[in-house]
Structures are given as structure tokens and as C-alpha cells.
């Protein structure tokens, strides 16, 4: 049986490149495959090499995202208009 490491994290609105680097270090250190992230404020700072990101950020500029290793194919990505949920 293959093991998939999944985590859920609240980033509390990471906005600086330094904090993004710390976040990325945590992900790589624990070798997560899929992450469900809350309190995402900007899609530009959350891009990581080797991972695909799917966002649900609306007019309030605070939303959710799914981060998955590039080799993991996510299908049927669904978002809520409230920006509070994303699923695949």
C-alpha cells in the first residue's frame, strides 16, 4: 500500500517571501504530498516548485487552496463562492 501524506494548515495570511520560505521548508521537511490551506491571501506568494496549487480567493482576498505534488493529478476541483472551501 502506498502512503500519501496529507496535512491541513492555517497560514494566517502569509504575505512575505520569508514566511513563504519557512512554509515551504516545513512542507519539504515533512514531505507532504497534499495540503489543504486556509487563510490564503495571495496566489502569487504560494507557488512552489514541484507542487501544483489550486486557489479559491475572492473579493475579500482571504481564501483556501489545495497544494499537491505535481505528479498527483487532482480532478473535479470545486470551490464555494464564499471562498471558504475548495475540494478535489
Q: Is 16 exposed, middle or buried (0-12, 13-18, 19+ CB in 10 A)?
A: exposed
Segments making up each domain of the chain, as ranges: 6-87
39-62 tens-digit pLDDT: 888 776 677 889 998 988 877 778
pLDDT at 45: 67
Mean predicted confidence (pLDDT) in 82-87: 83
Percent residues over pLDDT 70 in the chain: 97
The CATH number of domain 6-87, selected from 3.30.70, 2.60.120, 3.30.200, 3.30.110: 3.30.110
pLDDT of residue 33 exceeding 80: yes
Q: For the whole model, what pTM was predicted?
A: 0.82
Amino acid at each position: 500500500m502506498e502512503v500519501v501524506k496529507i496535512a491541513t494548515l492555517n497560514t494566517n495570511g502569509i504575505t512575505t517571501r520569508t514566511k513563504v520560505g519557512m512554509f515551504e521548508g516545513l512542507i519539504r521537511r515533512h514531505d507532504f504530498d497534499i495540503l489543504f490551506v486556509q487563510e490564503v491571501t495571495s496566489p502569487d506568494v504560494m507557488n512552489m516548485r514541484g507542487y501544483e496549487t489550486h486557489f479559491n480567493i475572492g473579493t475579500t482576498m482571504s481564501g483556501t487552496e489545495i497544494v499537491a505534488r505535481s505528479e498527483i493529478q487532482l480532478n473535479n476541483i470545486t470551490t464555494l463562492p464564499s471562498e471558504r472551501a475548495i475540494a478535489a
